[in-house]
Structure 1
Amino acid sequence: MEVQSLYHGYHGRAVLRGVDLNLAPGVLAGIVGENGAGKTTLLKILAGELRPHQGSVRHRGRFGYCPQEAVLNDALTVRQHLEFFRTAFGLPDLRHAKGIMEELRLWSYADAPAGVLSGGTRQKLNLTLALMHDPQVLLLDEPYQGFDWDTYQRFWELAARLSDAGRSVLVVSHLAYDTRRLDELWRLDGGQLHPETAAMA
């Protein structure tokens, strides 16, 4: 993913002031920042939900996005969500999705309506939907929110395997958790990204 000179603001107040980012294949990276630093605006631009006032974002290959708030239909089961997204992605089957679900311990909920799932289980489904088409660039917004310790560990193991397989993975959070697991880390401050040492915070 290549990001060049992103500028954006609201009502005359600049939020992003020339954000540059180059996310290479096989890199597990993170962006942290305080509330109000502009992370949401940056995420929406990177995901294509918002057009920047200036600058460009280029994705090479399939793109996956896991928003912080899961966009699910409470009346549909986990399996029905998978089938809906399988059709949308044009996938021949759910083999890849099932592998992710088994890794996250989600498969036992396949026939449960999304409306009865706990917050952590909803996030597992949210992550599975973002990964099921095997994206080459993956943007994750607070992806481990609500996870128990075991699932949290499984998430990082999965993220590491994705980067080892040549995927570009970007984790965005308001706090620098487990930064020792990252290859690269930036802090969003003053509308710009500043490189930081990827070490345990």
Structure 2
Amino acid sequence: MSSNAQLTTGPEALEPGQGPPPVLDATGVAKAYTRWRRLSRRKVPVLTGADLALAAGEVVGLVGENGSGKTTLMRILVGDLAADSGTVRLSGTMGYCPQQPIVYPRLTCDEHFELFGAAHGMRPAAQRDATGDLYAQLGFERYSSTRADQLSGGTLAKLNLGLALLPDPDVLLLDEPYAGFDWDTYQKFWGMVAERRTRGRSVLIISHFIADEQRFDRVIKLSDGRTWSS
């Protein structure tokens, strides 16, 4: 992040009488982009002080119109984009499922899981076990040796989600995760979310609209550069 923003990891000290700290805590996050017009430039604010806290075992939705800054905030939370100001504190590990899958076209699904497992420092046996579980849960094991550039959009979405889930992160951030899912995969997805909640894992789901609101512990709205509890 920039010199005006702070990103920290690890547990924070608690004041006497306080409960456990959030596993993810963003405060006062601001971001503006530079827009050029002819020979002049101007700053266009996207986030003007967004706050978001995620407790252990909590499933939270973040909703906003297209262009409201949802993906910008997500990229800042995962450290992919520097904020202009604000703080982001993370306690534990994080998994990220971007809206557009970031894959290697010539690698198979198996090769993706092996590569991502190595990047996360997973032992080969643990990576293979986790991969097998994800294939079974999401129902795409028959594509294990299929290259990414030969997958359908729905199967590519499953691979995208599986790679984020592979290391069993404490915090899972999902940007429009089920846009390409059929009904059966959509139901499997929510089963996996519920299972993670019972184990104290946290999930943040970003979408331009929220269906099945009862599945969430909270829904937060992003508008005018700020977050609001709905």
Residue 55 of structure 1 pairs with residue 86 of structure 2: yes
Output aligned runs, 1:30-109, within 5 Å: 30-92=61-123, 93=125, 94-109=128-143
Q: 2: CA distance between counterparts of 1:31 and 1:97?
A: 28
Q: 2: CA distance between counterparts of 1:101 and 1:76?
A: 16
What stretches of structure 1 move > 2 A for 4+ residues in a row? none
- Partner SS, residue 146 of structure 1: coil
Name the residue aligned to 2:31: 8
RMSD between superposed Cα atoms in Å = 0.9
* Conservation of the 8 A alpha-carbon contact between 1:97 and 1:131: no
Number of matched residues?
A: 196
* Conservation of the 8 A alpha-carbon contact between 1:2 and 1:21: yes
* Conservation of the 8 A alpha-carbon contact between 1:65 and 1:140: yes
Name the residue aligned to 2:170: 136
Q: 2: CA distance between counterparts of 1:28 and 1:97?
A: 23
Which of 167, 171, 179 in structure 2 is aligned with 1:145? Answer: 179
- Partner SS, residue 124 of structure 1: helix
Q: 1: CA distance between counterparts of 2:100 and 2:46?
A: 22
Name the residue aligned to 2:207: 173
CA radius of gyration, larger in? 2
Q: 2: CA distance between counterparts of 1:96 and 1:109?
A: 16
Question: Post-superposition shift, 1:107?
Answer: 1.1
Name the residue aligned to 2:51: 20
Structure 1: which 5+ runs fail to align? 197-201
Q: 2: CA distance between counterparts of 1:48 and 1:191?
A: 19
Structure 2: which 5+ runs fail to align? 1-23, 35-42
Name the residue aligned to 2:150: 116
Residue 193 of structure 1 pairs with residue 223 of structure 2: no
- Partner SS, residue 4 of structure 1: strand
* Conservation of the 8 A alpha-carbon contact between 1:6 and 1:18: yes
- Partner SS, residue 139 of structure 1: strand
Question: Post-superposition shift, 1:13?
Answer: 2.0
Q: TM-score, normalised by structure 1?
A: 0.95
Q: 2: CA distance between counterparts of 1:75 and 1:96?
A: 22
Q: Deviations over 1:58-113 (max 9, x none)?
A: 11111100001001111111111111111111111221222122110011110111
